[in-house]
Amino acid sequence: MKELSLFLGCLIPNRYPGIEKATKLVLDRLDIKWSELKEASCCPAPGVFRSFDRTTWLTLASRNLVLAENKNTDILTICNGCFSSLMDANNILKNDETARDEVNTHLKKINMEYKGTIEVRHITEFLYREIGAEKLNHAIEKPLELNVAVHYGCHLMKPTKDRKLGGAECPVFFDELVEALGAVSVPYEGKTSCCGAGGGVRSAMLETSFEMTGYKLTRMKKAGVDCIVNACPFCHMQYDTGQAELAKAGKKYDLPVVHYSQLLGMALGYSPEEVGLHLNEIVNPEFEAKIRLIQKQDLSAV
Amino acid sequence: MKNPEILTCFQCGTCHASCPSGKYTSLNVRKIIRDSTRKDISEEPELWMCTTCYNCQERCPRGIKVTDCVLTLRSEAVKKGIILPAHRKVCAFLIETGHAIPLDEKHNSIREKLGLGMPETVSKYPKALKEVKTLLNSTKFPELVNE
Ligand code: SF4
Ligand code: SF4
């Protein structure tokens, strides 16, 4: 297996940098070899750019892939959208000679060539496959006794044929990763349903997208969870800003939104501030107090 | 749309029944699939209501790549100049900054407080941004999406 280049994308560095920091902290702590994928651009976002112009989408994605090829590293994504764009583009370019030739005629203008020598990973499936839930459970310091609503996000699992992470109707791998940190993944209605953000719906039809978000939030709340755990900054933003927006209309959920990197960070002993939880729109002091209490407990006495 | 695969659609409606957007909008993806074989549906606003969640594609009993069809239909609409104002804006961001969501002052200062500095992306490297611009011009993206 190659070493990893961390692909940041747009949303994490530019809107939720706490997730970036948390990711770097946990990679270092777990002794996973990584470096920055310098000079990368937007993946580019699958729901919008892929549907506007496939060639442009493939070409920009190929440049990001080549940046990693030139370092002989795999790409590590921390966003379902980046994962989807880069993995799909990589699969297409590896298998479709015509597409590869077309992309390479564009890449030639910047002295690059796509060769198809690397893989694209997502932090959750990387941890699950390369470390495993059991070992992760041994590595953590503070089992987080929380009830959690796990949100996979559409593009992490689907299309299942390409993702190869099991079925999308009742997926389990992400729940196992969350439970490895001492939390309980609480079942809730509509668990595999979309957060509402994708496909350019959020940018063009914000209110409609929040209706889909409200559907999910209501069911999560009913299940009595402490927080939402996601694997994607776009879902993260949708739940976070969606709650702020819905609160104006009198619907209060107060559910902290936590990216898996942040949850893992806290299980490794980093404070809620260190993983950037306070940078969310929805800040729930009770939740943070609960985490702090868990982190203060002296585990050596148990 | 020319796609022989969709001729096997038997209008069962599994796709629409699985659609999260169809619960709240006028999107009926079963109808989109049917109509796309009969006429030009580039002007249908429903094309843009899909979140690309892939539920329909996963569940179609005929194995039709329903979501991919929606993506293709969208790109056909874009070729005819049909593109929502909000999406033109996202394209403008990409063309200008290399990011769909560019870094702003507020988040730059948050990064500093976190001890992160500038992101190691095109935001920091002008030469890299120039490469992105060269590629976008090469695929004629600005011509496609600018009014
Ligand atoms: S699920 Fe498939 S076969 Fe059934 S209506 Fe939709 S596209 Fe047609
Ligand atoms: S991919 Fe689009 S059309 Fe298909 S179920 Fe999801 S939102 Fe509906």
The answer to whether A13 and A36 have CB atoms below 8 angstroms apart is no
Report the C-alpha dihedral over residues B129, B135, B139, B141, rounded to 10 degrees: 0
| pLDDT tens, per residue, chain A with 302 residues | 899 999 999 999 999 999 999 999 999 999 999 999 999 999 998 889 999 999 999 999 999 999 999 999 999 999 999 999 999 999 999 999 999 999 999 999 999 999 999 999 999 999 999 999 999 999 998 899 999 999 999 999 999 999 999 999 999 999 999 999 999 999 999 999 999 999 999 998 999 999 999 999 999 999 999 999 999 999 999 999 999 999 999 999 999 999 999 999 999 999 999 999 999 999 999 999 999 999 987 555 44
Written as one letter, the residue type at A187 is: P
Q: How many Cβ atoms sit within 10 Å of the Cβ of residue B43?
A: 9
Residue B110 contacts A where some CB pair is shorter than 8 Å? yes
- Rounded to a whole number of angstroms, the distance from the CA of B58 to the nearest CA of chain A is 7
Same domain, A66 and A192: no
Q: Give the separation between CA A238 and CA A65, rounded to whole angstroms.
A: 27
Q: Which residues contact A205 (CB under 8 A, 6 or more apart)?
A: B25, B48, B49
Same domain, A146 and A222: yes
Question: Using a CB-CB distance cutoff of 8 angstroms, which residues of chain B are in contact with residue A219?
Answer: none
Listed by start position, the domains of chain B span 4-79, 85-141
**CATH number assigned to the domain comprising residue A207:** 3.40.50.11810
State which ligand 2 atom lies nearest to the alpha carbon of B52: 1
Q: Which residues contact B143 (CB under 8 A, 6 or more apart)?
A: none
Nearest alpha carbon to residue B119 among A21, A249, A247: A21
Among the candidates A62, A94, A123, a domain finishes at: A123
Same domain, A42 and A178: no
Kindly state whether residue A201 falls inside one of the protein's structural domains.
yes
Same domain, A271 and A146: yes
Kindly state whether residue A18 falls inside one of the protein's structural domains.
yes
Kindly state whether residue A101 falls inside one of the protein's structural domains.
yes
Kindly state whether residue A128 falls inside one of the protein's structural domains.
no
DSSP-based three-state secondary structure for A100: helix
Q: Give the separation between CA A123 and CA A76, rounded to whole angstroms.
A: 6
Kindly state whether residue A24 falls inside one of the protein's structural domains.
yes
CB-ligand 2 contact for B12 (6 Å cutoff): no
What pLDDT was estimated at residue A302?
46
Same domain, A214 and A270: yes
Kindly state whether residue A297 falls inside one of the protein's structural domains.
yes
Region B119-142 average pLDDT: 97
Residue A211 contacts B where some CB pair is shorter than 8 Å? yes
Residue B119 contacts A where some CB pair is shorter than 8 Å? yes
Domain span at residue A257? Answer: 133-301
Q: Give the separation between CA A55 and CA A112, rounded to whole angstroms.
A: 16
Kindly state whether residue A259 falls inside one of the protein's structural domains.
yes
State which ligand 1 atom lies nearest to the alpha carbon of B6: 7
A120-122, strands of its sheet edge to edge: A34-36, A4-7, A74-77, A120-122
The answer as to CATH 1.10.1060.10 being correct for domain B4-79 is yes
Same domain, A55 and A102: yes
Kindly state whether residue A106 falls inside one of the protein's structural domains.
yes
Among the candidates A123, A150, A165, a domain finishes at: A123
Same domain, A50 and A155: no
If contacts are CB pairs under 8 Å, which of residues 21-40 in chain B contact chain A? 21, 23-25
Q: Testing the interface with A: which of B103, B132, B137 to mutate, by most A Cβ within 10 A? A: B132
What is the Å distance from ligand 1's center to A11 Cα? 34
Region B82-90 average pLDDT: 93
The complex scores an ipTM of: 0.95
What pLDDT was estimated at residue B4?
84
What pLDDT was estimated at residue A299?
54
How many independent structural domains does chain A possess?
2
pTM of the model: 0.96
Handedness of CA B19, B23, B25, B30 (dihedral sign): positive
Token reading at B2: 């020319």
What pLDDT was estimated at residue A96?
98
Same domain, A144 and A233: yes
- Predicted confidence (pLDDT) at residue B147 exceeds the cutoff of 90: no
Same domain, A90 and A183: no
φ, ψ of residue A281 to 5 degrees: the values are -70, -45
Nearest CA in chain A to B69: A51
Same domain, A99 and A201: no
Question: B7-54: per-residue pLDDT in tens?
Answer: 999 999 999 999 999 999 999 999 999 999 999 999 999 999 999 999
| Cross-chain Cβ contact B134/A38 below 8 Å | no
Same domain, A144 and A11: no
- Rounded to a whole number of angstroms, the distance from the CA of B60 to the nearest CA of chain A is 12
Among the candidates A75, A96, A123, a domain finishes at: A123
Whether the ω angle into residue A256 lies within 30 degrees of 0, i.e. cis, is no
